[in-house]
Amino acid sequence: MTGPPGTFTRDSVTGMAYGGLALYAYVLYVQGPLLPLLREETHLSYAAMSAHSTLFAAGGIVTNLLYARVSARLGGRRLFWAAAGALAASALLLALGAWAGVAYTLAASLAMGVTGATLQTATASALSDHHGPHRERALVEANAGASATALIAPLAVGAFQAGGPGWRAALVVPLLAGVVLYVACRKVPFGTVPAAGSTDRRKDGRGNPGPLPARFRLLCTLLGIVVGLEFCVVFYGAPHLSSGVGLSADGAATAMSLFAAGALAGRLVGSSVARPGRARRLVVAALAVTGAGFLPLWAATAAPVALVALFVTGFGVANLFPLVLSLAIEVAPDQSDRITARVYLTASTAIMCAPLLLGALSDRIGVRPAFGVTALLIAVAALLVLLDRAPRTPPSTTPRPAAERSDPTEVTS
The string of DSSP codes covering 212-271 is PPHHHHHHHHHHHHHHHHHHHHHHHHHHHIIIII---HHHHHHHTHHHHHHHHHHHHHHH
Domain membership of residue 300 (yes or no) is: yes
Domain membership of residue 362 (yes or no) is: yes
Of residues 23 and 344, the one with the higher pLDDT is 23
Give yes or no for residue 3 having a pLDDT over 60: no
Domain membership of residue 412 (yes or no) is: no
- How many domains in the chain? 1
Domain membership of residue 379 (yes or no) is: yes
Residue 328 belongs to a domain with what CATH number? 1.20.1250.20
pLDDT tens digits for range 82-120: 999 999 999 999 988 777 778 888 999 999 999 999 998
Lowest mean pLDDT among 116-120, 208-212, 307-311, 332-336: 208-212
Residues spanned by the domain of 380: 12-190+212-391
Task: Give dist(CA 118, CA 82) in Å, integer.
Answer: 9
Domain membership of residue 411 (yes or no) is: no
Domain membership of residue 413 (yes or no) is: no
Task: Give dist(CA 88, CA 35) in Å, integer.
Answer: 17
Task: Give dist(CA 85, CA 106) in Å, integer.
Answer: 19
Domain membership of residue 203 (yes or no) is: no
pLDDT of residue 143: 76
pLDDT of residue 110: 94
Lowest mean pLDDT among 293-302, 321-330, 361-370: 321-330
Query: Per-residue confidence at 229, pLDDT binned at 50, 70, 90?
Result: very high
pLDDT of residue 228: 92
pLDDT of residue 404: 42
Task: Give dist(CA 333, CA 320) in Å, integer.
Answer: 19
Q: What single-letter amino acid sits at 369?
A: P
Query: Per-residue confidence at 399, pLDDT binned at 50, 70, 90?
Result: very low
Give the bridge partners for 209, in sequence order.
203
Give yes or no for residue 8 having a pLDDT over 90: no
pLDDT of residue 326: 81
pLDDT of residue 99: 78
pLDDT tens digits for range 137-164: 777 788 777 878 878 888 888 888 887 7
Give yes or no for residue 1 having a pLDDT over 70: no
Domain membership of residue 31 (yes or no) is: yes
Q: Output helix, strand, coil percentages for the chain, rounded to the nearest 5.
A: 80, 0, 20
Instruction: Read off the pLDDT of each residue in 109-134 and give the average, rounded to a whole number.
Output: 83
Across 29-159, where does the E strand assignment appear?
Answer: none
pLDDT of residue 257: 86
Query: Per-residue confidence at 308, pLDDT binned at 50, 70, 90?
Result: very high
Give yes or no for residue 285 having a pLDDT over 90: yes
Give yes or no for residue 341 having a pLDDT over 80: no
Instruction: Read off the pLDDT of each residue in 323-351 and give the average, rounded to a whole number.
Output: 79
CA of 14: how far to CAs of 112, 123, 161, in Å?
Answer: 24, 9, 34
Give yes or no for residue 411 having a pLDDT over 50: no
pLDDT of residue 300: 93
pLDDT tens digits for range 169-181: 999 999 999 999 9
pLDDT of residue 329: 78
Of residues 4 and 264, the one with the higher pLDDT is 264
Hey, how many other C-beta atoms are within 10 angstroms of the C-beta on 410?
Answer: 15
pLDDT tens digits for range 31-75: 878 888 888 888 888 888 888 888 888 898 888 888 777 877 887
Q: What single-letter amino acid sits at 307?
A: L
Give yes or no for residue 253 having a pLDDT over 70: yes
Query: Per-residue confidence at 337, pLDDT binned at 50, 70, 90?
Result: low
Of residues 168 and 337, the one with the higher pLDDT is 168
Residue 209 is classified by DSSP as B
Of residues 202 and 8, the one with the higher pLDDT is 8
Give yes or no for residue 374 having a pLDDT over 90: yes
The string of DSSP codes covering 321-342 is HHHHHHHHHHHSGGGHHHHHHH
Give yes or no for residue 402 having a pLDDT over 70: no
Q: What is the mean pLDDT of the chain?
A: 81
pLDDT of residue 307: 96
Give yes or no for residue 201 having a pLDDT over 60: no
For 158-197, letters b (16+ CB in 10 Å) and e give: bbbbeeeeebbbbbbbbeebbeebeeebeebebbbbbeee
Pair 320, 289: CB distance under 8 Å: no
Pair 78, 72: CB distance under 8 Å: no
pLDDT of residue 207: 44
Pair 374, 239: CB distance under 8 Å: no
pLDDT of residue 194: 39
Q: Who's near 25: CB < 8 A, 6+ residues apart? A: 143, 146, 147, 149, 150, 153
Whole-model pTM: value is: 0.69
